[in-house]
Structure formats: C-alpha cells, structure tokens
Amino acid sequence: MFKFLSSRAALAATVLIVLQGALIYSAVRPESPPSGRALAQFPTKLGSWTLLQEGVIDAETQAVLKADDLLNRYYSGNGTGANLFVAAFRSQRNGKAPHSPKNCLPGSGWTPLESSYASIDVGGPMPIAVNRYVVAHGDERSLVMYWYQSRDRAIASEYTAKFWVVVDAMRLNRTDTALVRVVVPIVNKDEAAADKSAADFIRSFYGTLRQYLPA
C-alpha cells in the first residue's frame, strides 16, 4: 500500500483531485474576462493573403460548438488557398469547451494519415508549437495545423490546455480560450510546400488575431 502511495500514479491522481477541487471552488465566482473584438471585423487583407470567401457555419453546427464567437474564412495568397477557423470561448464552464479537430475531422469524412507537432515562427521572441495533421478525403490531401490560444499562450496539447484552464481558473478566475485551425491543400503530394504556405499564413495573422481575443 505504501509503495502505491509513493508511486507516480498516486501522485498524478492526487494532483488531479486537488486541481478538480480548486476548479469547483473557483466556479462559484463569476468570470469577467476582458472583452475581445468581434471576429466578424477581422481583416480581409493579411499581408500577401486576401479574403477569398466567407465560410458558412450553419445553425446546427453553431449549436454543437457553443462558441461565443466564430470565424470561418478562406484566404488566397502565394498561389494557394488557406482556411482559417477560430472558435472563441469566454468561459469553459457549464460544458462549453473547444471541440478537438482530432474528433471533428474524421466525423466530417477526413481520414488522418499523419500526426505530429510543428514549430512556427510568428515573428515573436519564441516560436509557437502547433498540432500538424495530414488528412485525406478520397484523392484529396490537406495539411491541418491547430492550437489553443489563451492570451499570449499558444498550446498544442489538449491535455496541457486543460491543465492551464484549471490554473487560470484558480489564479485569474478566467477560463477563456480559442481554438485556432488552419487548413491548406496539399497539391501534387508536396507536403513541404503546404507546410511553407501554412507557416506563412499563420505568421500573417497571428499578431492580429491576438488583438481580437481577450488580453
């Protein structure tokens, strides 16, 4: 018994119980994160990228996502296109939380082929870490990059993002976050070109997007 209590599993379970208790305690206090700017006002011109069309998010999808603000746009630049999807949440209490693309993409008919992480230089002091997926739909191939953005913190791992939700709830009484997803087509199986385009697109909007989310 004493050996179990000193094990990593016991330590992890103890930490989880403590964090859950702290989160429940913090839930009695209403959140009041700073207001962000409406994503509908997001620029149509981002460096060399220009708005191609607004994506449609039907009422049923909006009801499932439960996001407080949504952006779904297609931009073109550097001879290719890119989809930018942002789901912003002012609070993750009462069952509201980002839906992981790991679950949404297969449900939309896309089959994951590769899964890894990527480091993107966004022009700041440090690059950001993002999830990198190659997915297929029939003969089509696309590159998907996504992460969770909470103020100046960009997080790839879902588990790490949930950890920081608890920490922020205790420390700042805030659980606001945003799921940011970029999709770029892979043409002629050239993943390197798709990676380059996705990185350039992310770099073009990252600083601006932070201005639209609560600081």
pLDDT tens for residues 166-177? 898 888 888 999
Domains and their CATH numbers in the chain: 31-212 (3.40.1000)
pLDDT tens for residues 65-102? 899 999 999 999 989 999 999 999 998 887 788 888 88
Backbone angles phi, psi at 79, to 5 degrees: 75, 15
Q: What is the mean pLDDT of the chain?
A: 87
Q: Which of 111, 76, 92, 81 is nearest to 194 (CA)?
A: 81
How far apart are alpha carbons 68 and 77 in whole angstroms? 29
pLDDT tens for residues 166-212? 898 888 888 999 999 999 999 999 999 999 999 999 999 999 999 99
Percentage of the chain exceeding pLDDT 90: 58
Helix (H) or strand (E) holding 158: helix 158-171
pLDDT on residue 4: 45
- Angstrom CA distances, 178 to 110, 139, 173, 196, stand at 22, 31, 17, 24
Q: For residue 89, count other CB atoms closer than 10 A to its CB.
A: 22
pLDDT tens for residues 114-125? 999 999 999 988
pLDDT tens for residues 136-168? 999 999 999 999 999 889 999 999 998 998 898
How far apart are alpha carbons 147 and 129 in whole angstroms? 8
Fill in the amino acid letter for 15.
V
Residue 73 tokens read as 């746009």
Residue 36 has pLDDT above 60, yes or no: yes
Residue 9 has pLDDT above 80, yes or no: no
Q: What predicted TM-score, i.e. pTM, was given to this entire model?
A: 0.84
Residue 97 tokens read as 């939380």
What is the DSSP track for 16-83?
HHHHHHHHHHHTTSPP-PPPPPPGGGS-SEETTEEEEEEPP--HHHHHHH--SEEEEEEEEETTEEEE
